[in-house]
Chains A and B, each alone.
Chain A
């Protein structure tokens, strides 16, 4: 039994297909629980007031925006090294999810920043690297759409993904690299002194769990779609040639 057997599109679909409804239901449950818990049953922060409730959307989406790109990086490396089509298609399927998560993080951050920092936007290291990451997502999707040959598109987008990983790393660690800018340190930390208070922490964890499951659900569903679309294109090409 090897993990590479899932590189077979048929095996991948047979394995992940039955899991999809369960992952979708678990994701919905966790997101609804996390958001309802956070919105209705947590107190206001003594400094941020009720804007602290934005954390249940902003932190999970920002986390997924960065980690979606890392997932795409791993899948792209697998494509470049082992030429497994499922990995290239999984990376392609993850891009719109990551891009949407980046937009949510940018929007919620701006809405939170206006009353807290007095500005919607600042050219702060983390904010700027996040914006560049979003542009990389757009470029990545545009490149997939612009190239007709699937294998060539997978090659070129994989290279773009490797380059964009620099900004994914910067987005994650920008607040540590530069001691400047408005963005505060990480909300989640192993250091109890730095971590958010428990009253906010547990609903946040549930919400993060829901976003992770949503990402897995959408990537599996999107990979199924890409596998089917690829098979349709192959059949149509064969039909034209016969």
Chain B
């Protein structure tokens, strides 16, 4: 760990908040993608079964 001196709080909080937001964005996008895929597959299957 580098010596960040008196600005350690500023640097570390910048990294923590930014990475948190990036992880949240990627997680949200992946979950939404899976839900949309599942919803489409379920709808197509239902229509197919009904003929």
Chain A residues within 8 Å of B, Cβ to Cβ: 31, 35, 39-40, 44, 49-51, 53-54, 57-58, 61, 96-97, 100, 103-104, 107-108, 111-112, 114-115, 214, 218, 221-222, 224-226, 228-229, 231-232, 235-236, 239
Contact = CB atoms under 8 A, between A and B. Distances in A.
B36 A50 contact: no
A98 B21 CA distance: 12
A44 B5 contact: yes
B44 A107 contact: no
B4 A50 contact: yes
B interface residue count range (under 10 / 10 to 19 / 20 to 34 / 35 or more): 20 to 34
Q: Which of A54, A225, A231 has the most CB of B within 10 A?
A: A225
B7 A51 contact: yes
Contacts of B17: 104, 107-108, 111
26 contacts: A40-B2, A49-B5, A50-B3, A50-B5, A50-B7, A96-B28, A103-B21, A104-B18, A107-B21, A108-B17, A111-B17, A112-B14, A115-B6, A115-B7, A214-B26, A218-B26, A221-B33, A225-B29, A225-B32, A226-B36, A228-B37, A228-B39, A232-B36, A235-B43, A235-B47, A239-B43
Contacts of B36: 224-226, 228-229, 232
A225 B25 CA distance: 14
Contacts of A214: 22, 26
Given A218-B29, A229-B36, A111 B14 contact: yes
A78 B49 CA distance: 38
Interface of B: 2-8, 10-11, 13-15, 17-18, 21-22, 25-26, 28-30, 32-33, 36-37, 39-40, 43-44, 46-47
Contacts of A39: 2, 15
B10 A111 contact: yes
Contacts of B47: 235, 239
Contact of B10 (A40, A103, A114): A114
A79 B8 CA distance: 47
Given A50-B7, A53-B4, 14 more contacts: A31-B22, A50-B2, A50-B8, A53-B15, A58-B14, A96-B28, A107-B21, A111-B10, A115-B10, A214-B26, A222-B32, A225-B29, A228-B36, A235-B43
